[in-house]
Chain A
Amino acid sequence: MLPNYKTSVKKVDNEEKMSGMAIFTGDIRMDNAHFAIPVRSTVSYGKLLKINVPSLPKGYYFISAKDIVKENVCNIIASDWPVFPDKEVHYKGETIGLIVGPDKKICIDLASMTHADYKELEPVFEMKNSYVHKEFKKGNPEVFKKASKVYSESFETGYQEQVYLEPQGMLIWMDGNKITIKASMQCPFYIKKAVTRTLGCSEDKVRVIQPAVGGAFGGKEHYPSLMAAQLATAIVKIKKPIKMIFDRKEDITFTTKRHPSKTDISAYLDDKNNILGVKIHVGIDGGAYIGCSMVVLARALIAATNAYTFENVDISGDAYCTNKVPSAAFRGFGSPQSIFAIEMFINHLADFLHVNHYELRNKYLVKTGDITSTNGVFRDPIILDKLINRAMEMSDYQRKKKEYSKPNSYRGIGMSYFLHGCGFTGSGESTIINAQLRIKKDKNDIVTFYTSQVDFGQGNRTTLKRIVVDTLGIPEDHVIYGAPDTDETLSTGPTAASRTIIIVGGLAAKAARHLKEIWKDGEEQEIIEPYVGPSYIKWDDDTMQGDAYPGYAWGVNVIEISVDPITYEVTIEGCWSTYDVGHAIDERILIGQADGGLAQAIGWAYLEKEEMENGVFKQRTLSDYVIPTMMDLSKMETEFIDNPFPYGAFGAKGAGELTFAGGAPAFCAALEQAINRKVNKIPATPEFIMELIEHGN
C-alpha cells in the first residue's frame, strides 16, 4: 500500500528540481568567470618557509596569506582557523594559496607546479592533546565511592563524510563595489560575517544569495565560510568573478567530517544492583583547528545520558587537537556519538546484571519533570513509553527478539531510544542568535516574508511558507517567500541545530499573527518580529548548568538484520520508527527527514569507513567511501505521535537531526544478537564482524 499524505501540501520547489530547471551553484553561467584551484599543504605539521610559485602567465595569480586585507582569521565560532596559513601548516591538504585564472586547465597545471618548503614538525594523529575541556556534575558523585560494583566500557565511532550529492562550490563577483556570493551553503550570514571580518569591510559591502543547494547535512555550515574568506581575498586583488567548484575527490579528501569519538562509561552499582550513578567521558577528534568543536563537544556531553535519568552524574569531555582535516558539523552535532555509547552500554550492563535489556532501560527512562544531567528540567510532557510501545508493536519486537535468540540464527532485532535538544544550546537563541524576521504587505495585500533559512532539501521553504499562509488565512499565492538574500532578509540565524521550524517557524507564526492583528486592506504594512525565548530557559555556558535546550524531540528506532554466515555481509530486513516531533505539520516532509536521517545513520553504523593514513583519508572517492544504495536499505515504516509543543509553530519541534540519533545503536543491538558478540565500535564492516566472530570480544 502506498502512503497517502493527507497533512501535506505541494512542495514549492518540486517542479524546478525534477525538471532540472533548479539552478545550483555549478549551473550558474558567468562567461568571464575565473577559476580558483587550491594549492594544498603536503605535510601534516610544519613551518611554512617559502612558497615556490612558477612564473605565472599574464592574467594568472597566486593568492595567499600575503594578500590578506585585514585579519587572517576565518570566522567559525572559534577564531583559530586562518584563511591562509602564514607561519605553520597544521594538516595535510590545508589550503596554502589559490591559483586563480581564466582557464581551468592551466590553473590546475600551475597549482600542481606550486610547492612550498617546510620545516617539518612531529605531527600528532591520536587523541591526546585536548584543546577544549568541559565537565559538569549532577547530584553527588561522591556516592560513587560507596558503590559495591563498578561496570565500565569504552565505545568508538569513526569519521563520517556528509556526501551531500552536490559537492561544495562557490561563485563570487563584484556588483559595483559590493562583493556578491552565491554558494552551496547552509548559513548565508556566517559567510557574510567571515568575509566582512577578513576584509575588515562594512556589512553593506557584502551580499550573499542562496541558489539551489544539493544537500548539506552540516557539511556546508562552516566550510563555505573558509572558501568565502579565501575567494574574497582573491577578488579584492583581481576584481574578476571567480568560481571554485570542488570535484568529489577534493570534497571527500579535504572538507570537514563528523568527529570520530571515544566514550568511556562507568556505572556505579549498589549491592542490590541499582545504578547509583554514571561517570562518562567523551573524547572527540577535532582535527587541526577548533572551529566549532567546543559546541559539538557540549552537545555530545549534554546528550550523554540520553533518554535516561540517573541521580548522580559526572560528565566530562575533551576535544582533541590533531594534525588532520578539521572535524565540524554533521547532523546530530556530537550527540549521535555519545547516544551510540550509552545505548550500547545500557544493554551491556543489563547482560552483565543478567536482566532483560528492556526492563533495565525502562527503569531509568526519563519522565516528565525529571532533572536533566545539567540540572535543568524536562518540563514538557514526555511520551516515550507510547513511542516505545508503538515501535514494538509495529515491528513485532518481543516475538522476534525471542525467536532470534536461538543459537546461530544469524538474525537479530535491536531497539534504540533517543532525544534531540532543539535549537541552540541554552539561552543561545536569545543571547547569541537574536533572530529577527521581517514580514510586509503591499498595497495589493500580497505578503512577503524573509528568513535566512536555507532549504537544502529538508522542505523548510514549503513548511515556513505554509505556517505564514495558514496563520494569515489567505490564499497561498498571496504569500511570497523566496530563498535567502542577505540584502533582503534580516538574520533569522543559521540553518542548523534543528532550529528552523521550532524557532524560526515559531517566529514566522508570531509575525504573521501580529500582521493579522493590524491588517488594513490596501495598505502597505511591515512588521519586524524579534525572537523572544521562553523566560524560564536559563543556562550558564561556563558551568554547563541549567536548561540546555528550549525543547526536546524524541524517537525510537527498531532495526532488524540478518548476517550471511559465510561472507558476513549484513542485510537490513526492516526498520520501524516512532517519533515525537511535537505536532507533525507536514507528514510527507517529515517522513523524508526520518527515512533520510536513518539511512545516513545506518551507513555510519556499518558501511561508511573513512580511515586515516599518515594524516590523509584513505577513502577519497565514492567507490572507496561507500554510502548506502537503494539495495543496502529496506522498507522503512515510520509514525509520528502527536505531542504539541507550546512554543513551536503549530506545536512543532525540530526533526532534522533527531532522525540520525538512533540508527547506529539499533543496528548494532540487532547485530549483537545476530552474531552473539558485543559491538563497541562502528563502522561494523564485514571485516570487523569477521574479526568479532572469529576472535570473540
Chain B
Amino acid sequence: MEIKFILNGKQVSVDVSPSMRLLDVIRDKFHLTGTKEGCGEGECGACTVLVNNEPYNSCLTPVINIVNKEVITIEGFRETKAYRIIADAFAEMGGSQCGFCTPGMILATYAVLKKNPHPTEEEIRFALSGNLCRCTGYQSIVFAVLKASEKGIEL
C-alpha cells in the first residue's frame, strides 16, 4: 500500500505493508540509520522520532498511523538550532558515551524542553524515564538537559 507522509521536511511516499513498523520504514526504506532499535518493544526509547513534534517510539508505530503526518528523525533534527544547543550541552556535560541511546535521547530532550523550558532535575528524570541509557548512569544527561534549558532552545 502506498503511504504518504512528510519526512524531515520532505513529502515522501513509500509502498509498504500498512502494519510495517515506522522504524523499519525509516531505516530500511529511507536508509536513515540514526534511529536505533534497542528493544523493539517500547522499553528503551532508542527509536524515538518526532511525529507532529511529539516523541514516539517508532518501533511501536505502524506506518499507517503516520499517513500525512510530519516525521522528524535525528537526520532532520540535526539541521536545527535546537539540535545544536542540545548537542553542545550533551558534549559539555558528557551525556553521550557509546552513543546508541543518544539520538533518541536528544529528540526526547527536545520534546521535554518544548513542553517545559525550565524543568527541575526531578521533572527531567520523570520525563525522560522512557529512554534507557546503560552507559552514563543518567547524571550527565540530566545535567545536559539542565544546561540546554539554561541556554534556551529557541523555539
Q: Which residues of A contact B (CB under 8 A)?
A: 2-3, 5, 8, 10-11, 13-24, 26-27, 29, 162-167, 212-217, 247-249, 456-459, 588-589, 591-592, 594-600, 621-623, 627-631, 633, 635-636
CB of A213, distance to nearest CB on chain B (Å)? 7
Nearest Cβ on chain A to B121's Cβ, whole angstroms:
7
Closest chain-A Cβ to B91's Cβ sits at a distance in Å of 5
Contact yes or no, B121 A635, CB < 8 A:
yes
Chain B hits for A23, CB < 8 A: 33
**A248 B38 Cβ-Cβ under 8 A:** yes
Q: Which 8 A-B pairs have the closest CB atoms?
A: A20-B34, A17-B99, A214-B100, A457-B98, A595-B137, A599-B137, A457-B97, A27-B33
15 extra interchain contacts, Cβ-Cβ under 8 A, other than A163-B132, A164-B134, A165-B46?
A2-B146, A14-B91, A18-B90, A24-B36, A26-B33, A165-B36, A212-B98, A216-B98, A217-B134, A600-B137, A622-B41, A627-B132, A628-B138, A630-B128, A630-B129
Q: Once the chains bind, are B74 and A20 in contact (CB under 8 Å)? A: yes
B139 surroundings in chain A (CB, below 8 A): 591, 595, 633, 635-636
- Residue of A26, A456, A629, A636 near B129 (CB, 8 A) is A629
A456 contact set on B, CB distance < 8 A:
98
Query: Is B58 positioned at the interface, with any CB of A under 8 Å from its CB?
Result: no
The answer for the CA separation of A628 and B128 in the assembled complex, in Å, is 12
Bound CA–CA A209/B98 (angstroms): 17
Tell me the nearest residue of chain A to B87, going by C-beta.
A18
Q: How far, in whole Å, are A536 and B26 apart by their CA atoms in the complex?
A: 57
B99 contacts across to A, CB distance below 8 A: 13, 16-18, 22, 212, 214, 457
Interchain residue pairs with CB less than 8 A apart (11)? A14-B91, A18-B96, A19-B34, A24-B36, A163-B132, A165-B135, A166-B98, A215-B135, A216-B98, A457-B135, A592-B97
CA distance A458 to B101 in the complex (A): 14
User: Chain B 107-138, CB within 8 Å of chain A: the 1/0 string?
Assistant: 00000000000000100111011111111111
Contact A166 B94 (CB under 8 A): no
Chain B residues whose C-beta falls within 8 Å of the C-beta of A212 in the assembled complex: 98-99
Residue pair B39, A248 in contact (C-beta under 8 Å) = yes
Nearest Cβ on chain A to B123's Cβ, whole angstroms? 11
Residues of A within 8 A of B67 (CB): none
Closest chain B residue to A16, Cβ basis = B99
Residue of B nearest to A588 (CB): B94
Taking Cβ atoms with an 8 Å cutoff, the residues of B that contact A are 27, 31-41, 43-44, 46, 73-75, 78, 83, 87, 90-94, 96-103, 106, 121, 124-126, 128-143, 146-147, 150
CB distance from B68 to the nearest CB of A (A): 25
Residues of B within 8 A of A248 (CB): 38-41
Contacts of A162 in B (CB 8 A): 134
Interface residues of chain A: helix, strand, loop or mixed (majority): loop
Write out the residue numbers on chain B whose beta carbons fall within 8 Å of the beta carbon of A22: 99
Write the nearest CB–CB distance from A167 to chain B, whole angstroms: 8
Give chain B's interface secondary structure class: loop
A14: chain B residues within 8 A (beta carbon):
87, 90-91, 96
Q: Which of B32, B36, B132, B137 neighbours the largest number of chain A CB atoms within 10 Å of its CB?
A: B137
Q: A18-B90, A23-B33, A248-B39 are in contact. Are A636 and B98 (CB under 8 A)?
A: no
* Chain A proximity of B144: nearest CB distance (Å): 9
Residue picked from A3, A18, A167, A215, most chain B C-beta under 10 Å: A18
* B124 partner residues in chain A, CB cutoff 8 A: 630
A459 contact set on B, CB distance < 8 A: 97
> Which chain B residue lies CB-closest to A625?
B43
Instruction: Write out the residue numbers on chain B whose beta carbons fall within 8 Å of the beta carbon of A591.
Output: 94, 139-140
For A215, what are the chain B residues with a Cβ–Cβ distance below 8 Å? 97-98, 100, 134-135
> Do B134 and A600 touch (CB < 8 A)?
yes
State in angstroms the CA–CA spacing of A101 and B97 once bound together.
35
Please indicate the chain B residues that have their CB under 8 angstroms from the CB of A622 in the complex.
38-39, 41, 43-44, 132
Least CB distance, B16 to chain A, in whole angstroms = 14
| Given A18-B102, A458-B97, A595-B138 contact (CB < 8 Å) | yes
Query: In the assembled complex, which residues on chain A have CB atoms less than 8 Å from the CB atom of B129?
Result: 629-631
Q: Give bound CA distance, A588 to B93, whole Å.
A: 7
Q: Is the CB of A631 within 8 A of B94?
A: no
Contacts of B35 in A (CB 8 A): 20
CB distance from B124 to the nearest CB of A (A): 7
The CA-CA distance from A281 to B109 in the complex, in Å, is 48
User: Taking the nearest CB of chain B, how far is it from the CB of A563, in angstroms?
Assistant: 19
From B40, B73, B132, B143, A165 is in contact (CB under 8 Å) with: B132
